[in-house]
Amino acid sequence: MTMRQAAEAQLLNPHCDLGEEGLRQILTDVIEEVRQSISLDIDGGDVVHSLLNASWLQSLLKVYECLQRFLGDSPAPVLNNATGVLFQLLIDVRALQACSEDAKELCHLLRQPHLQALLSAHDTVAQRDYGPVLPPMPDELPDDEEATRTVCLVKNNQPLGATIKRHEITGEIFIARVIHGGLADRSGLLHAGDRIIEVNGFSVGGMDPEQVIHVVQARSQGTIMFKVVPITERPVHQEMMLYVRAMVNYNPQQDPTIPCADAGISFSKGDILEIVDQTDALWWQARKLPSDACCAGLIPSSSLLKRKQRELWWSQPYLPHACMHILSTVEEEEDLMAIDDKFMEADEETFESDELREENDDFSSNSEGIFSAGFRRSLRLCRRRFYSTTQLPGHTRCPSNCSALNVPYEEVVRYQRHPHDAHRLIALLGPSGVGVNELRKRLIETNPRLFQGAVPHTTRPPKGHEEPDRDYHFTSREIFDSMIYKNRFLEYGEYKGNLYGTSIESVKDVLSSGKICVIDIEPNAIQAVRTHELKAYVIYVKPPTLERLRESRKTAHITTTYYVNRPFQDEDLQEMEAAAQKIEAQYWQFFDHVIVNDELQDTCAQLLTVVNKSQDEPQWVPTSWIRPNTQL
Ligand SMILES: Nc1ncnc2c1ncn2[C@@H]1O[C@H](COP(=O)(O)OP(=O)(O)OP(=O)(O)O)[C@@H](O)[C@H]1O
């Protein structure tokens, strides 16, 4: 039999005799064989060799062998009353007339307390006398006697972690739920469904829940004693790991329907919640992350929240059709735009020349000659002016995703991008004028080999200096329309009779080239970029306070629908603030990160750090991106 056959036989029948040499011999043989593999240059051989040669493994095997030998010997105690023998010996020796020195020394040793304790322990083990001793069952038990349990909990200024309810018909008081990680839960002695008979010696018969709570709360510290009739069939609690992103705000103190407001937890849009218990169809238990609190709290279940939304019981009603809401925002903005006759109205040429200037700047700042597409102003202008109003009826991007906006909790998982996977799309957004384009441009300039914008599509003819598929994808109106129809645009719009748009393919082209695609989007395109294939990391650029805006934008220029590069006016800054508030109210839950654009240099540095983290560190993403067909 070869060495390997011997080893395999041993594996198949671990009880077979290892032979004189034992495991160590087999190991020696294995080492020899591995050594030969190394000389033959077999892959991984040297790793296995060093592993098998490790001294800790050799020692472990030695211990294993000893244990095996010990088990094989099946040791049994010679006697199980060594203590009795000891005392008998002492009596016998004392009864002797003349006692030798040896006998005296033996008596002295046998009287030592530690020796007696050792023999007593020996007897306990030999007699296997270590199980609990239960009191004898009473001879006669009345048939209708209920088994009660007395539970003592030591309360130390912390809540009990359980809620109670009264049975509607019998008026009996029951434990309604036990809060995960709370005092009652940690004790393991109280369970949902247990019937409470007494609290601290007071019978709760005839009391209403408030009175019972009063008795419990009368002691903020010390022992609380419950006498309960335990529930007979306890539901099996399944441990689960479910994480969700809250899509709404919730405050238990403002919710009259919550069974116990103090047991509830508040959360805001975008918070990540760990759901620890979904046993109750209406009220789940959850922890808000990051959290070091062991105790969970009550939150409304997904179905309850949906019902609340429908019934508009919400203090701040969640708007189910965000896409429609943004349309009205745009119209409102249009109304707010006052034409300032101190500045000349911009025509397309003015924009184009401005655009060209930007482009030249880009080239001059890029010593390596890498072109960064996407600094196109016309797209931003047509977005601002025409977004949504020019889309073909029934073929916008939003309605297909709109149902996602109705989900109060979005199931999420921790996602760590594999270094070989495509990068995540970086989508920047913010109120007009806050600096989204400036930041995007500067980010790309930091490393044009890594960051790139998406090449936009347009139906306008190319200009002399423009190169097809580098500056724009120049397409016919028919092709553009068919792409709209097939939902191939993340967003698009019309400006001065020409269509402009950012296609999904353009973004994918950048991603599949191994680069990080950086685009700026309008808020209503968020749903279009939050997909399995683009895995967008959405960064919201937030304006600082009005005071700081006035300070930091003193020398900055704004491009509005009507004017190119005019200095910021106070109304512009106020409009920016108002627009920011609207965006935040509607879309905050979708932001992966929020950057306040105060000092430009600082913001750029922060942006670079965040973008790197978005690619290299684990992030919460919708579960549907990783496991399709998942919904709460
Ligand atoms: N932190 C900042 N401090 C001072 N000026 C800034 C800052 N951020 C941006 N700016 C300037 O503000 C002006 C507007 O910025 P930008 O064009 O990037 O806005 P935007 O958010 O892209 O708006 P829009 O999409 O409406 O053009 C630019 O002149 C830009 O240089």
- pLDDT tens digits for range 142-182: 666 678 888 888 877 777 888 888 888 888 999 988 888 88
pLDDT band at 239 (very low <50, low <70, confident <90, very high): low
Least confidently predicted of 12-16, 205-209, 418-422, 493-497: 12-16
What atom of ligand 1 comes closest to residue 603's alpha carbon?
1
Q: Which residue has the higher pLDDT, 27 or 238?
A: 27
Give the right CATH number for 408-455+501-625 from 3.40.190.10, 3.40.50.300, 2.40.110.10, 3.40.50.620. 3.40.50.300
pLDDT of residue 268: 93
Identify which of 51-60, 145-154, 372-381, 474-483 has the greatest average pLDDT. 474-483
pLDDT of residue 597: 97
- Cβ–ligand 1 distance for 209 under 6 Å, the answer no
Nearest CA to ligand 1 atom 26: 432
Secondary element (H or E) of residue 195 = strand 195-199
CA distance 79 to 76: 9
Helix (H, G, I), strand (E, B) or coil at 619: strand
- Cβ–ligand 1 distance for 398 under 6 Å, the answer no
pLDDT of residue 204: 87
Nearest CA to ligand 1 atom 16: 435
Where in the chain are all domains bearing CATH 3.40.50.300? 408-455+501-625
pLDDT of residue 65: 87
pLDDT of residue 48: 79
Q: Name the token pair of 352.
A: 């184009």
- Per-chain mean pLDDT for the chain: 79
- Cβ–ligand 1 distance for 597 under 6 Å, the answer yes
Nearest CA to ligand 1 atom 10: 435
pLDDT band at 368 (very low <50, low <70, confident <90, very high): very low
Secondary element (H or E) of residue 458 = strand 457-458
Question: Could you tell me what percentage of the chain is helix, strand and coil, using 3-state DSSP and rounding each to the nearest 5?
Answer: 40, 20, 40
Angle in degrees, CA 186, 192, 198, rounded to 5 = 90
Q: Which residue has the higher pLDDT, 58 or 117?
A: 117
pLDDT (tens digit, 9 = 90+) per residue, 548-565? 999 999 888 877 666 667
For the chain, percent of residues with pLDDT exceeding 70 = 76
User: Cα 535 vs. chain centroid, distance in angstroms?
Assistant: 16
What atom of ligand 1 comes closest to residue 598's alpha carbon?
1
What atom of ligand 1 comes closest to residue 377's alpha carbon?
27
pLDDT of residue 5: 53
For 114, left (φ over 0), alpha (ψ -120 to 50), or beta? Answer: alpha
Average pLDDT over residues 200-211: 86
pLDDT of residue 236: 66
- Cβ–ligand 1 distance for 435 under 6 Å, the answer yes
- Cβ–ligand 1 distance for 441 under 6 Å, the answer no
The answer to whether 598 touches 541, Cβ cutoff 8 Å, is no
Q: Is the pLDDT of residue 592 over 80?
A: yes
What atom of ligand 1 comes closest to residue 600's alpha carbon?
1
Least confidently predicted of 42-56, 430-444, 488-502, 522-536: 42-56
What atom of ligand 1 comes closest to residue 565's alpha carbon?
29
Average pLDDT over residues 366-392: 47
pLDDT (tens digit, 9 = 90+) per residue, 294-339? 788 999 999 888 887 777 544 554 444 333 333 333 333 332 233 3
- Cβ–ligand 1 distance for 380 under 6 Å, the answer yes
Helix (H, G, I), strand (E, B) or coil at 306: helix
Orientation of helix 45-53 relative to helix 22-39, angle to 10°: 150
pLDDT band at 359 (very low <50, low <70, confident <90, very high): very low
Q: How many angstroms separate the alpha carbon of residue 565 from the centre of ligand 1?
A: 10
pLDDT of residue 17: 53
Strand pairing partners for 225? 152
- Cβ–ligand 1 distance for 433 under 6 Å, the answer yes
Nearest CA to ligand 1 atom 15: 435
Fold of 242-310: SH3 type barrels. (2.30.30)
Where in the chain are all domains bearing CATH 2.30.30.40? 242-310
Least confidently predicted of 160-169, 220-229, 482-491: 220-229
pLDDT of residue 356: 38
Nearest CA to ligand 1 atom 4: 553
pLDDT of residue 360: 39
Read off the amino acid at residue 397: R
User: Does 1.25.40.10 match the CATH number of domain 149-229?
Assistant: no
What atom of ligand 1 comes closest to residue 597's alpha carbon?
1
The answer to whether 177 touches 162, Cβ cutoff 8 Å, is yes
Q: Which residue has the higher pLDDT, 132 or 424?
A: 424
Which of 438, 445, 572, when mutated, tests ligand 1's pocket best, judged by the most ligand atoms within 8 Å of its CB? Answer: 438
- Cβ–ligand 1 distance for 553 under 6 Å, the answer yes
Q: Is the pLDDT of residue 4 over 80?
A: no
CA distance 73 to 68: 9
Average pLDDT over residues 33-54: 74
CA distance 6 to 27: 11
Average pLDDT over residues 49-72: 84
Instruction: Say how many C-beta atoms besides its own lie within 10 A of residue 574's C-beta.
Output: 13
- Cβ–ligand 1 distance for 596 under 6 Å, the answer no
User: Cα 558 vs. chain centroid, distance in angstroms?
Assistant: 39
Least confidently predicted of 25-34, 204-213, 302-311, 482-491: 25-34
Average pLDDT over residues 115-136: 83
Tell the burial category of 167 from Cβ atoms under 10 Å away from its Cβ (0-12, 13-18, 19+): exposed
pLDDT band at 258 (very low <50, low <70, confident <90, very high): confident
Helix (H, G, I), strand (E, B) or coil at 529: helix
Q: How many angstroms separate the alpha carbon of residue 536 from the centre of ligand 1?
A: 23
Angle in degrees, CA 537, 542, 546, rounded to 5 = 180
The residues, ordered by sequence, that sit 6+ positions from 10 with a Cβ below 8 Å of its Cβ are 16, 18, 26
- φ/ψ of residue 475, rounded to 5: -130, 160
Reported pTM:
0.66
- Cβ–ligand 1 distance for 432 under 6 Å, the answer yes
Q: Is the pLDDT of residue 136 over 80?
A: no
- Cβ–ligand 1 distance for 438 under 6 Å, the answer yes
Helix (H, G, I), strand (E, B) or coil at 68: helix
Strand pairing partners for 414? 620
Q: How many angstroms separate the alpha carbon of residue 168 from the centre of ligand 1?
A: 63
What atom of ligand 1 comes closest to residue 441's alpha carbon?
18
For 537, left (φ over 0), alpha (ψ -120 to 50), or beta? Answer: beta
What atom of ligand 1 comes closest to residue 557's alpha carbon?
29
Task: Tell which residue, 261, 262, 291, 258, has the closest CA to residue 274.
Answer: 291
Average pLDDT over residues 260-268: 89
Q: Name the token pair of 598.
A: 């105060």
Nearest CA to ligand 1 atom 1: 600
Q: Name the token pair of 13.
A: 């029948």
Strand pairing partners for 155? 222
Q: Which residue has the higher pLDDT, 283 or 392?
A: 283
Where in the chain are all domains bearing CATH 2.30.42.10? 149-229
pLDDT of residue 62: 87
CA distance 443 to 244: 31
Q: How many angstroms separate the alpha carbon of residue 555 from the centre of ligand 1?
A: 11
- Cβ–ligand 1 distance for 603 under 6 Å, the answer yes
